[in-house]
Structure 1
Amino acid sequence: MDVQTSPNVGKLSVPRQRKKWWNKLWKYRALYLMLIPGLLYYAIYVYGPMYGVIIAFKDYNFIKGITASPFADPWYKHFKAFYDSPYFFQILRNTLLISLYKLVWGMPPGIILAIMLNEVRNKAFKRVVQTISYLPHFLSTVIIYGLLIALLSQTDGLINQWIKAFGGPTIPFLTSTDWFRSMLVASGLWQNVGWSAIIYLAAISGIDPSLYEAARSDGAGRFRMIWHITLPGIRNVILLLLVLRLGHILDAGFEQIYIFYNVHVYPVADIIDTWVFRVGLEQMDFSLATAVGLFKTLIGIVLVVGANKLARRWEGSIW
C-alpha cells in the first residue's frame, strides 16, 4: 500500500509527536521550571491588570467597582475630556520635545563612550573609567536632584557662587524655562551614559576580531576600522534600542520630571504623565487617567510597528 494514501499514517504520527514533545519537555525541565516565576510575574502584574483598561470607557466609581460602574456616554467621553483640556497641546508638545531631546542626545554619547573604551588598551584604566561612568546609574533621582541643587541653586549653588565671584549675574538653572530642559536632559545623560555604553560594548565584543586584523593588514587606521567595522557591527543593536525607545516616546521620564519641576517651569516641563498625576490621580478621576494611559499605549504601538518596518531595511527589526 502507498504510504501517502494510508489512513493510519496521520494517526500514528500524532502520538509520536506528543511523545517527542513530552520527552523534550522533560529533558529541559529545569529550564522550564526557572521560567515559571517570570511567567507568573507577567501574568499577574502585566497581563492581569489589562482588564482594568475598560475603566477608560466607564464612569468609574471606586465604591461600585469596575463591573458595576456605568459605561460613559458617549464611550469616548474621557478621551474627549483629555483632548478638550486647555493644556492638551502644551503637554503633548513638552512630552514629545523632552523625549526627542533625550533620544537625540542620549544615544550617541553611549555609542561614542563604548567605542572609546573599546579602543583603550590599558585594561586597568579602562575598568576605572567604565566603573566611574556607570556608577551614577545606581543613584536615585532624588539624590541627583540634591546634587543639582548644591551645584546650580541660584542663591547658594556652587556654580552661581563662582559666577558671582567673577562679577556676573546668577542664573536660575532649575527655575528658568530657558534652562530647565537642558538641565533635565544633561542630568539624565550623565546618569545613564555609562550604563548604555555597557550594551554597546557587549555588541562590539561579538564582532569577529579577524575583520580588524584584515583591515589592519590592508593599512586601515583606527578611524577607518571604527567606521567600516565597528559601527556596522553594532548597527542592529542600535536599531533595536532605537525601536524600543520609540515605543516609550510619550513617557519622557515621569519620576525625573516630577522631582525636578516646579510651578515656574510648568510651561516647558509639564508632560502627559505629570498632568495625569495631578488632574487624574490626585482628584481620583481614574477613568481619565486610564484613558490617557490607553492613548499613550496605542501611540506607542503605532510607533514601534512603524519603526520596526523601517528597521527591516537595515536588518535591525525586532520581529
Structure 2
Amino acid sequence: MNGERFKTSKGPGTPRGVKLRRLRRDKWLYILLIPGLLYFLIFKYVPMWGVLLAFKDYQPFVGFWNSPWVGFEHFRVFFQNPDFYMLLRNTLILSLYNLVFFFPAPIILAILLNEIRRSFYKRAIQTMLYVPHFISMVIVASLTYVLLTTEGGVINELLYAFTGRKIEFLSDPDWFRPLIIIQTIWKESGWGTIIFLAALAGVDMEQYEAAIVDGANRWRQIWHITLPAIRSTIVILLILRMGSILDNGFEQIFLMMNALNREVAEVFDTYVYTLGITQGAFSYSTAVGLFKSVIGVILVVGTNWLAKKFGESGLY
C-alpha cells in the first residue's frame, strides 16, 4: 500500500502532475515573467536593506556596516521634535483635502464621460482631460506663478481692474492648500478616469435599457447601475490611497513652498529632503521615511479589513 501511494503521488492525474504539465505548457509565459521579477527584486526588495540606516548613526567615511548602531534613537528624537506635530498636521490636512476633493473627481468625470453617447465628442473630451497629466509639475508651478503673482499676474490684474486690490495667492498661507488641491485636480483627474471608464465598459447595456423601460431617469440609472458597477474599483483605489496618506508628493509641495507659507507647506516629504540631502542627516531622514512607510502599511491593512467587514472583496 505504501508503495502504491508513493507511485500515485507522482502520477499524471495527481495535483503535482497537473502542476508540472501546466508548468511545461506555459514555460514561455514564466520566462517572460523573469524580467519583471528581476526588476522588483533588484530595485524594490534589495534596497530594503537601506532601512537599517534608520537604526544606525550612518557616517559615510566609516561605511554602512561599520557605522555605530543606535537603535530607536532617531525615532525618539523625531517624535520629541516640536516640528513633528507641525509636519503631521500639515500632511494629514493635505491628505484629507485630497480624499475629500480630489479622490471623487475622477469618479465624477468618468460617470459624466460615460453619459456622452457620441463617440467623437467623448474621445475629444477625454484627450483634453488626459493632456495635463503629461505636463511637468515644474510647468504647472510656473503657470500658477504667471497667473497668480501680484507682479503682473493675469488673475491679479483682473482682480485689480474690478476690485482695486490684489490677493497674495502665492505667499498667503491660507491659499496654499486650495492651490495644491486645484493643481492636483486639474492635472490628475482626467488620467484617473481611465480605470473607472474601463470598469464601466463592462456594464451590460441591457441593464440601462431595462431601467429606462421601468421609468428610471438618468440620475436613477447612475445611482442604481453605474455606481454599483464601479463600487469595487472605488474601494480598491481607496485602500491603495490610504497607503499613501502621509505621502503628499515632494515636487509639487517643494515648488509651491516659500518662506511665507512654510508653516502650512512643510510636510514629511520636504522635511526628509531638507535633512537628508541638504543637511546630510541620512539616518535621521531614513527614520522619518520608515515611519511613513509603517503608517502606510497599517492604514492599508486596516482599510482592507474594514472593506471586508462591509462586504467588499478588498485587496486580499
TM-score range, shorter chain: over 0.9
Map residues 215-230 of structure 1 onto 2, 5 A cutoff: 215-230=211-226
Number of the residue aligned with 2:62: 64
The one-letter code matched in structure 1 to 2:39 is Y
1:255 matched to which residue of 2? 251
| Aligned counterparts, 1:1-319, within 5 A | 6-14=2-10, 16=12, 19-72=17-70, 75-312=71-308, 313-319=310-316
Give distance in 2, aligned partners of 1:199 and 1:282: 38
Q: Distance in 1 between the 2:37 and 2:63 partners? A: 28
* Shift in Å, 1:121: 1.0
What RMSD, in angstroms, separates the aligned Cα atoms of the two structures?
1.4
Work out the CA distance in 2 between the residues paired with 1:275 and 1:55: 17
Say if 2:250 and 2:270, in contact at 8 Å, map to a contact too: yes
Q: What's the offset of the Cα at 1:64?
A: 2.1
Q: Which runs of 4+ in 1 moved over 4 A?
A: 15-19
- SS of residue paired to 2:261: helix
Deviation at 1:51, TM superposition (A): 1.0
Distance 1:118 1:224 in 2: 15
2: CA distance between counterparts of 1:260 and 1:11?
A: 70
1:198 to partner: Cα distance = 1.4
- 8 Å CA contact 1:153, 1:160 repeated in 2: yes
Is the partner of 2:103 in helix, strand or coil? helix
Is the contact made by 1:96 and 1:252 (CA closer than 8 Å) also made in structure 2?
no
Measure, in 1, the Cα distance between the counterparts of 2:311 and 2:227: 13
Q: Could you tell me whether the CA contact under 8 Å between 1:235 and 1:316 is conserved in 2?
A: no
Counterpart residue type for residue 172 of structure 1: E
User: Following the alignment from structure 2 to structure 1, what is the Cα–Cα distance between the partners of residues 311 and 277?
Assistant: 42
Task: Answer whether contact 1:95 1:272 (CA < 8 A) is retained.
Answer: yes
Q: Deviations along 1:45-103, whole A, 9 cap, x unmatched?
A: 1000111111111111112222111101xx21100111122211001100011111112
Unaligned runs of 5+ in 2: none
**Higher mean C-alpha displacement, 127-136 vs 166-175:** 166-175
CA deviation string 1:153-212 (max 9, x = no partner) = 111110001111124311111111010110011001100110111111111111122221
Deviation at 1:10, TM superposition (A): 3.5
Distance 1:93 1:7 in 2: 68
Percent same amino acid among aligned pairs? 47
**How far apart in 2 are the matches of 1:316 and 1:169?**
54
The number of aligned residues is 313
For 1:131, give the aligned amino acid.
T
Separation in 2 of the partners of 1:316 and 1:232?
14
Could you list the per-position Cα deviations for residues 12-47 of structure 1 after superposition, in whole angstroms to 9, with x for gaps in the alignment? Answer: 313645554333222212221221111111100100
Q: Is the 8 A contact 1:237 1:316 kept in 2?
A: no
Q: String of CA shifts for 1:87-136, please: whole Å, max 9, x gaps.
A: 11001100011111112111212111111111111111111111101110
Q: Partners of 1:189 and 1:256 in 2: how far apart?
A: 13
TM-score normalized with structure 1 length: 0.94
- Separation (CA, whole Å) in 1 of partners of 2:100 and 2:304: 18
How far apart in 1 are the matches of 2:164 and 2:25? 73
Quote the Cα distance in structure 2 between the aligned partners of 1:280 and 1:233: 45
Q: Return the TM-score normalized by structure 2.
A: 0.95
Which stretch has the larger CA shift, 201-210 or 242-251? 201-210
Write the letter of the residue equivalent to 1:205: A
